[in-house]
Amino acid sequence: MPGITREEVAHLARLARLELKDEELDHFAGQLDDIIGAVARVSDVADEDVPPTSHPLPLTNVMRPDEVRPSLTPQEALSGAPAQEQQRFKVPQILGED
């Protein structure tokens, strides 16, 4: 059974936008390796001819009539914003300098 290495944890943390500290990487790598070792037993059923279940209910799209209804005011929608400007969410730079 493949385990998980410290390098893989670092890679996954980057994908998940978590700026982990070195000591966290050491700590989590061992724990995640244990957890993955324990949950890997699900793969016993990998070859069984069983359909997957993603949800307890048979889901279909639920639509509502396209009608105007009350909603948050711009002020309410922005009330939790870390920064705002001209009734918009103000965010750090998205594109690089060059």
Partner 1 sequence: MTDLTRLTAAETAEKIASGEVTAVAVTEAHLARIEAVDEKVHAFLHVDREGALAQARRVDEKRASGEKLGPLAGVPLALKDIFTTKGIPTTVGSKILEGWIPPYDATVTRRLKEADIVILGKTNMDEFAMGSSTENSAYGPTGNPWDLTRIPGGSGGGSSAAIASYEAPLAIGTDTGGSIRQPAAVTGTVGVKPTYGGVSRYGMVAFSSSLDQGGPCARTVLDAALLHEAIAGHDPLDSTSIDAPVPSVVEAARNGDVKGMRVGVVKEFAGEGYQAGVMQRFDESVELLRELGAEVVEISCPSFDKALAAYYLIAPSECSSNLARFDAMRYGLRVGDDGTKSAEDVTALTREAGFGDEVKRRVILGTYALSSGYYDAYYGSAQKVRTLIKRDFERAFESVDVLISPTTPTTAFPIGERSDDPMAMYLADLCTIPTNMAGNAAMSLPCGLAPEDGLPVGLQIIAPAMADDRLYRVGAAVEAAFEARWGHPLLEEAPSL
Query: Contact residues for partner 1 (CB under 8 A)?
Result: 4, 8-9, 12-21, 24, 27-28, 31-32, 34-36, 38-46, 48, 50-57, 59, 61-62, 64, 72, 76-77, 79-83, 89, 91-94, 96
Least distance from partner 1 to the Cβ atom of residue 85, Å: 13
Contact status, residue 55 vs residue 36, Cβ threshold 8 Å: no
Residue 23 tokens, joined: 């000591």
Least distance from partner 1 to the Cβ atom of residue 39, Å: 4
Residue 6, classed as helix, strand or coil, is: helix
Instruction: Report CA 72 to chain centroid distance, whole Å.
Output: 26
Task: CB nearer to partner 1: give 59 or 68.
Answer: 59
Residue 41 tokens, joined: 């037993």
Least distance from partner 1 to the Cβ atom of residue 61, Å: 8
Cβ neighbours, 10 Å, residue 28: 19
